[in-house]
A and B are shown apart, each in its own frame.
Chain A
Amino acid sequence: MQPIPARIKLAGENSAVVVTWSDGHVSAYAYRYLRGKCPCATCSESGPPAEAAPSPFPIFGVKPLAPERAELVGRYALQIYWNDGHSSGIYAFDYLRDLCPCAECSAKRERAANTH
């Protein structure tokens, strides 16, 4: 059986969503990285929005990107509600697992890409 998340921590350390998988693996996704990988039709067509430019009025401040909340979709995916108002991305668990940025998973992806 493919691994599924056991625990999802939205407010993980270093501005990251931390997923503990059923096989024990732990993935930490930086908010900006995960938002950039949004699989919804709009984002995959035109790419995610660029990082907000520094505010010309620093007095108002710029809220850093973060997830507000998240919901499970059936038993296969996670839907994240970002504080930039975007929520249409449904991150399927296998997609999420493939995105894992840890050294081990990155190396595995690289090997797979080289053999093709």
Chain B
Amino acid sequence: MSNKINPQDVLRALSVIQDPDLHRDIVSLGFIKDLAIDDHRVSFTIQLTTPACPVKDQLAAQAKQAVQALGVPEVNVQVTSQVAPGRGPRTPLIPLVKNTVAVASGKGGVGKSTVAANLAIALNLAGAKVGLMDTDVYGPSVPVLMGGSEPPRVVEGKLEPPVEYGIKLISMAYFLPKDEAVIWRGPMLHKTIQQFLGDVRWGELDYLIMDLPPGTGDIQLSLSQTIPLTGAVIVSTPQDLALTVAAKAIAMFKKLNVPILGIVENMSTYVCPQCGYREEIFGHGGAREAANKLGIPFLGEIPLDPSIRIQSDRGKPVALDGSTPYGKAFQDVAAALAAQISIVNYQTPQGITIE
């Protein structure tokens, strides 16, 4: 039997393995590539929809087991990924950007920019091509968070974004003397958003993360009208007040038909470095409860830790180091986010044709 393995048998064995997020088997999803069989060896590649897949190793182990159970002595499993592009309407402004993710909140000061920067870092570390766009024109903070001082350059009439930690960046802060302020009304903001999208050489990206200003105003509306966003991530502290306002941001995105990818609870728990005592300064678990109530995915909790603030101010986002609890927290949230993006892309109907 073992020297007469037939590809159909292998695929049948693999088809019992379900992708836990997409709720379909990995064969009918088209994840199995390059299936090769010789006498005593079967090798194949599992191509996932994101390099940040949280169940990567689990799927590979299950696949190996399933084929071994056929009596194959040697099974070689490779895992790769190809990020699926958003299936909503396409935009000519950023044709090579596969997914656009807005990081938003109701209230200010909940850590949107810190979360956005660290999610970008974590996705990049997982192997994705990532850009980070600071749409907070009034209070741009991405360049400080990401370090570096190189401004964008003009190449062939377009802006070449600076790259820090492998991530392409754009921010209003690059175009403004440090102590100057932007004092603009809506139409100017709208124009800036359009330029940040269309006049920046983003090139090919798996994920473009967009750090939004707080609230439900001009920039949020301009962005949602200018491009078909893949989805939005809502950042909130566990505090009731912040969550009440976060619900308004969620309502806005629902109205604009932008999928909500999930809620992140920031400033979750503080653990005293001296004695290990846990203090829940803004409460704890509120965002998870709110997510459950609203039927929205909960992406995870980021602890309140002075190191996050210190490293943010130094331009060294904590997600660069997954060995710390907070670095790990950001990487877990990024994996959960990547999974939600794959789910949304899988559920969204094909683009809209106008004739």
Q: What mask results when residues 316 to 352 of chain B are scored 1 for a CB within 8 Å of chain A, else 0?
A: 0000000000000000000000000000000101101
Cβ of B349 and Cβ of A6 under 8 Å apart? Answer: yes
Cβ of B353 and Cβ of A75 under 8 Å apart? Answer: no
Cβ of B347 and Cβ of A1 under 8 Å apart? Answer: yes
Q: Which secondary structure dominates where chain B touches chain A?
A: loop
Chain B residues closer than 8 Å to A7, beta-carbon distance: 352-353, 355
Scoring A2, A22, A76 by chain B CB atoms within 10 A of each residue's CB, the highest score goes to A76
Question: How many residues of chain A have a CB within 8 Å of chain B?
Answer: 24
Q: Would you list 21 pairs from A and B whose C-beta atoms are within 8 A, ordered by A residue?
A: A4-B257, A4-B349, A4-B352, A6-B350, A6-B353, A7-B352, A7-B355, A8-B352, A10-B354, A22-B349, A70-B354, A72-B89, A72-B354, A74-B226, A74-B257, A74-B258, A75-B88, A75-B224, A75-B229, A76-B257, A93-B257
Question: How many residues of chain B have a CB within 8 Å of chain A?
Answer: 19
Cβ of B353 and Cβ of A74 under 8 Å apart? Answer: no
How far is B348's CA from A5's CA once the two chains are assembled, in angstroms?
A: 12
Q: Does B256 contact A (CB under 8 A)?
A: yes
In B128-179, the 8 Å CB interface with A consists of: none
* Other-chain contact of B354, A2, A8, A93 (Cβ < 8 Å): A8
* Other-chain contact of B255, A5, A76, A90 (Cβ < 8 Å): A76
Chain A residues closer than 8 Å to B227, beta-carbon distance: 74
Cβ of A75 and Cβ of B257 under 8 Å apart? Answer: yes
Q: Does B228 contact A (CB under 8 A)?
A: yes
Q: Does B6 contact A (CB under 8 A)?
A: no
Q: Does A108 contact B (CB under 8 A)?
A: no
How far is B258's CA from A1's CA once the two chains are assembled, in angstroms?
A: 11
Q: Does B65 contact A (CB under 8 A)?
A: no
Q: Does A73 contact B (CB under 8 A)?
A: yes
Chain A residues closer than 8 Å to B2, beta-carbon distance: none
Given contacts A6-B350, A9-B355, 6 further A-B contacts (CB under 8 A): A2-B257, A7-B352, A8-B355, A72-B228, A74-B227, A75-B88
Q: Does B225 contact A (CB under 8 A)?
A: yes
Chain B residue at smallest Cβ distance from A80: B354
Chain A residues closer than 8 Å to B354, beta-carbon distance: 8, 10, 69-72, 78
Chain B residues closer than 8 Å to A71, beta-carbon distance: 354
**Nearest Cβ on chain A to B98's Cβ, whole angstroms:** 15
Q: Which 6 A-B pairs have the closest CB atoms?
A: A76-B257, A75-B228, A74-B224, A22-B349, A76-B256, A8-B354
How far is B256's CA from A29's CA once the two chains are assembled, in angstroms?
A: 22
Chain A residue at smallest Cβ distance from B91: A72
In A16-69, the 8 Å CB interface with B consists of: 22, 69
Cβ of B352 and Cβ of A73 under 8 Å apart? Answer: no
How far is B240's CA from A115's CA once the two chains are assembled, in angstroms?
A: 36
How far is B354's CA from A11's CA once the two chains are assembled, in angstroms?
A: 10
Chain A residue at smallest Cβ distance from B354: A8
**Nearest Cβ on chain A to B109's Cβ, whole angstroms:** 27
